[in-house]
Structure 1
Amino acid sequence: MRIAGVPCVLSRLDREALLDAAERLFYEQGVQAVGMDEVRAASGLPLKRIYRFFAAKEDLVVAMLERRDQRWRASLTARVEPIADPRERVLAIFDWLAEWFAEPGFRGCAWINVNGELGPSSEAVLAEVRSHKQAFHDQIAAWVHATGMPVVEPVFLLAEGAIVTAGIRGDPAPARQARAAVATLLGTP
C-alpha cells in the first residue's frame, strides 16, 4: 500500500536535513573548508540524493543562505514588532543583535563570511548576499521611518558594523555600543 504524499514529505525532510547539515558546517568551518563528503556524512544522505536536490555546491550554499535569511529576519521581526514605541522598536534591533552575538557558536554574519569566500567568483552567491543585505536594510528603514527621524543609513551602518565587529571580536559589546549611538541619533535618553 502506498500512502499519498509520503515521497514528497520524505523529500522535504531530506532537503531540510541536508540544509541543516550544510548550514551548520558552512557556518562553523567555512564553505571552502567543507567538502561534499562531509555534508553527506553530516546529513546522512547519499551524494546522489544530495546532487538531485542541488546540482552544485554553489546551489546548496545559495539555498542555505535563502533559508537562513527567512529564519533570521523572522526572528528579528518577532523581537522588534511587538514594541509599541517607534524609537524603542529601533533600539530593540540592537538588543536582538546582542542576544544573537552572545549565542554559543556565533561566528559573525553568514552572508559576509560566505561573500568573503565565494562572492567574487559566484554571481549567484553575490546576488543572495545582496538580497539579504537589502532586505535587512528595508526592515531597518521601515522601523526608522516610523520614528520620523532621517537616520536610516546611520542606523543600518551601525547594525552592520556591530555584526562584523562582534564576529571578529567574539563579544556582544558592539551591539550595546551601537545601541547607545543610535539612541543619541534618535534623541532617546
Structure 2
Amino acid sequence: MKQRGQVVVDKILDTAERLFYLQGYSNTGINQIIEESDIAKASLYKHFETKTDLLIAYVQRTHKLWFTRLEAAVNKVADPKQKILTLFDHHTKRQEIRKFGGCPFIKANDEAGIDDPRFLEEIQATKIHSKEFIKSLVENSVHKKFLSDEELAETIYVMLEGSIVTASVFKNSDEIQSAKKIIEKLI
C-alpha cells in the first residue's frame, strides 16, 4: 500500500508527465498542474521546490518506466540478433501509443536543456543508458563484424534516434521500420 505522500507525488508526476509531453514544459504552468492533479499548492511545493525539480523527477520516472518496458520487450526474445531488432519494434509501438509525438526526453531537452545543469545531466543520463543498453546487445550478438561493436552500437543508436525524430515529423512508423531493415543487414 502506498504512503499518502507517495500517492500525492504520483498524482503530481502523472499530471506533469501528461502535460509536459502534450503541451511542452514551457507551456505548462504550476497552477495547471496543481489544478489538474487536484492537490493543494502546498502539497506540490512540499515535494517539489521548483518547477525544475518537478521536471527532473518527471524525467527520472519516465526514464525508469521507459527502460523497464524496453528491457521487458527485449527479454522476451531469445535470439541475440532479434533482440537488437526488437528495439525498433518497441520504439515503433511506443510512438504509435504516443501518436508519433516524439521522444519525451528530446522534447523536454529542447525546451529546458540549458536552464539547469542538473536537468541536462539527467537527460544525458537517459541517452547514455540507451547507448550502453544497445552496446550490450551488440556485444552479446554474433553480428557480421562489418563494423566494430562500438561502431555498430553507435550506428544503431543514431539510426534509432533519427528514425524516432522522423516518425514524429511524418506521424508514421515507416522510418523506424526502414532503419530496422538497414540494421538487420548489418547484423
Unaligned runs of 5+ in 1: 1-5
State yes or no: 1:37 paired with 2:31. Answer: yes
Counterpart amino acid of residue 138 in structure 1: E
Give the 3-state SS of the residue equivalent to 2:97 in structure 1: coil
Give the AA of the match of 1:65.
V
Q: Equivalent residue for 1:168?
A: 169
Matched positions, count: 180
Distance 2:131 2:5 in 1: 34
Cα distance, 1:148 vs structure 2: 3.6
**Scaled by the length of structure 2, what TM-score is found?**
0.92
Distance 1:174 1:42 in 2: 35
2:157 corresponding residue in structure 1: 156
Aligned partner letter, 1:17: K
Could you say which residue in structure 2 is the equivalent of 1:131? 125
Pick aligned residue for 1:81 from 72, 75, 85? 75
Q: C-alpha distance in 1, partners of 2:61/2:41?
A: 21
Shift of 1:82: 2.1
Q: Which amino acid aligns with 2:116?
A: S
Q: TM-score, normalised to structure 1's length?
A: 0.91
One-letter amino acid of the structure 1 residue matched with residue 136 of structure 2: A
Match of 1:60 in 2: 54
Q: Which stretch shifts more, 97-106 or 137-146? A: 97-106
Residue 25 of structure 1 corresponds to 19
CA RMSD of aligned residues (A): 1.3
Q: Is the 8 A contact 2:99 2:171 kept in 1?
A: no
Q: Does 1:103 align with 2:61?
A: no
Pair 106,42 (structure 1): closer, same or farther in 2 beyond 3 Å: farther
Sequence identity, in percent? Answer: 28
Equivalent residue, structure 2, for 1:90: 84
Distance 1:105 1:12 in 2: 29
CA separation in 2, counterparts of 1:121 and 1:48?
Answer: 24
Gaps of 5+ in 2: 144-148
CA contact (8 A) 2:75 2:83 kept: yes
**Aligned partners of 2:171, 2:96: CA distance in 1, in Å?**
8
Of 163-172 and 133-142, more deviation after overlay is shown by 163-172
| Offset of residue 108 of structure 1 | 0.6
